[in-house]
Structure 1
Amino acid sequence: MNYIHIGYPKNLSTTLQNDFFSKHSELSHLGLGNNGQSMNYLNRDIAIYFESLLRARDIEFKDIHNDFLDSIKSNFKKKYGISHENLSFHFSNDEVDITQKINRLYDLFGKETRIIVIIRNQFDLIKSLYKESLKAGLGIDFHDYVNALYKSRIHSYLQEIKFDRVIELYQNKFGLENILIIPIENFRINGHLKEIDGKNILLTVICNFLEIKYENITLTHNNPSLSDKEAFQLLALNNQYKYNLGKGNYALIDTHKYRDIFEFIEFNETDIYHDVKIKRILLEYAEKLAKNDSRKINYYADTTIVEKLKKMFIESNEKLSKNYGIDLPDNYFKMEF
């Protein structure tokens, strides 16, 4: 039995990768999170394969699949699997459609694979993804961000946070019995993960689903979100210094993630960490500025668009609850930015 953790983003993905999947003694984790590093796969071949799985068009991926398949399968030991939040949605326009990702995963892992999906109230998720986009160089305010998402809804990630639709696509390939759906709000209280008798309830549920023993693994706080005050400062800084998303449609996001692919295609990037260096400097500066400035990011969005989004997500959540018997918290049906 294999496993695939598909996210969603801003739902403990990095923490689970670094602290759980890569450290549990009964799992053979292919990535991400190997050696406690959020960008790490088990080895270079796996990195090239899975980053290509997310991004390469079929004509290119076919060659990569043929070249690397034997090497990838040589790492299939014990209960092996992958964790990547971009297997549930796309953060940037350089990725392929979700159906292509699922088909490629199915061809590699097979039907007897357990799928773990952790969801979150869509409005909260959009706010978190906006702040994550600021960390990637975005230079527009929240109003324009939501407006752009909705105007481009036929190809933006809005379609992929209609959870019932994405889960249906995975169900069609892997079967409903192999899917675990976790609303993260049911496992948190006052910002902390719930415990019973000293055991983390979330990890207990995942271990039971994967049929592995519970191990007393400490979860650390990885990739924390910006505060609203830090987000305000970073937005202003992003309009002065251009990196990643700020460079335009054809710019790669987080170029350092492509290091193994660049080597594979024999492309010499003189400073692959250039943008991430700028990002880290600006994040530190935004944090410093926020300590002495009370201004916060404004989450105002066009009321007409907000109402349309509410209708779209509430309908999706009602189907999710009905079709999969999921007990969703009230904030999945009463949404506000």
Structure 2
Amino acid sequence: MKKLIIHIGYHKTGTTFLNRKFFPLHPEVCHLGKPYDSDSPIRDIVEQVTGIRKYNVLQCRALYDRHIKPIRHRKIVSISDGRIVNNIIDGDQKEIPERLLSMTNDVVIIMVIRRQYDYLKSLYVQKVGANNEKKSFNKWFDDNWTDGMQVKKQLDYFDKIQAYSSVLGKDNVGVFIYEQFLDNGKKFTKDLCNFIGLDCVDSKGELDNSERLNQRMTTLHRFITTHMLLRYIAIIIRKILSRKVKSLISNLIFNYFNRFDPKLSSDRLRLLHEHAKVVNNKLIGEMSLDLHRYHYDT
């Protein structure tokens, strides 16, 4: 039986490229989401396993047997959902991998990490764009460092990796570095293929275009989100314009406005760096990850 590959995150680490340009286009892979259909049984499994919906172990096994297991006789199956990595059931990091293991005893996990400060900034920018977050970066950090979203726990990559490795086995958890994807996308893809056991297909065109898949917010976008009337006008304009015109306007905006790049105050940044150093030194010492090359805090 072929492998079941589950890419669990993190958000903002090349996930859009993997979901749209890598897994779905590889001839040896059957990609089941994301993106999902609205009534997707795969989405149902993921949301039960992560605690978003009420968990029923027998129902998850039945859905797996019906919708995933038959495909594995002929192809590697991939599922990619960045929500998985940040969900914790009742404070237990091992609960989600144990739920995955209850469906099948051979699950392979892919996790992509990113420099903690860059990840945190991207997470905040996403909240501003998708959830209309109006708090400053500093205030949002204060509210979510140990409370709220508990981003301190999210940034402890080592504990997360250890939890999955202890349940599924060290050889079944692949950890990749987002900065390598940016620096040398072809090697990133080759390493990913080698870990999964895939033939390395030529992804150069997809890699060259991957930066445009998920463009970041500009200073104009941020200005609009903080003014209700402008935000309302922007929503109306998006509804009435054709896709071609919207694409043209979008390109003009990204060409002429600076990227929105929030900054933390020095005291908050010091708190983040100290936490990151502890985590990253564990990753280097116990997993031999080449984080020095990509300027992680150590």
% identity of equivalent residues: 21
RMSD (CA atoms): 3.6
Deviation at 1:28, TM superposition (A): 2.2
Contact 1:231 1:296 in 2 (8 A): no
1:87 is aligned to 84
- For 1:95 and 1:181, how far apart are their aligned partners in 2? 25
Verify: 1:320 aligned to 2:249, yes or no.
no
Match of 1:143 among 98, 117, 138: 138
Match of 1:107 among 99, 102, 105: 102
Deviation at 1:107, TM superposition (A): 1.8
Verify: 1:205 aligned to 2:180, yes or no.
no
2:48 is aligned to 52
Match of 1:215 among 180, 201, 205: 201
String of CA shifts for 1:312-336, please: whole Å, max 9, x gaps. Answer: 11110000111101110353117xx
AA matched with 1:147 = D
Q: Secondary structure at the match of 2:19?
A: helix
AA matched with 1:21 = F
Deviation at 1:302, TM superposition (A): 4.0
- Structure 2, unaligned runs of 5 or more: 240-245
Q: Secondary structure at the match of 2:295?
A: helix
Structure 1 residues 9 and 97 mapped into 2: Cα distance closer, same or farther (>3 Å)? farther
Written as runs of structure 1 = structure 2, the 5 A alignment for 1:130-169 is 130-137=124-131, 138-152=133-147, 156-169=150-163
Q: Say which is worse superposed, 289-298 or 318-327, in terms of deviation.
A: 289-298
AA matched with 1:18 = R
- For 1:288 and 1:69, how far apart are their aligned partners in 2? 42
- For 1:54 and 1:96, how far apart are their aligned partners in 2? 12
Deviation at 1:188, TM superposition (A): 2.7
- For 1:315 and 1:279, how far apart are their aligned partners in 2? 47
Given the two structures, how large is their TM-score scaled by the length of structure 1? 0.70
String of CA shifts for 1:88-131, please: whole Å, max 9, x gaps. Answer: 124xx999965332222222242x33322111101001111111
Written as runs of structure 1 = structure 2, the 5 A alignment for 1:208-287 is 208-217=194-203, 218-219=205-206, 220-221=209-210, 223-237=213-227
- For 1:324 and 1:50, how far apart are their aligned partners in 2? 28
- For 2:166 and 2:236, how far apart are their aligned partners in 1? 43
Q: Secondary structure at the match of 1:55?
A: coil
Contact 2:218 2:254 in 1 (8 A): no
Deviation at 1:61, TM superposition (A): 3.2
2:16 is aligned to 14
AA matched with 2:127 = S
Given the two structures, how large is their TM-score scaled by the length of structure 2? 0.78
1:332 is aligned to 296
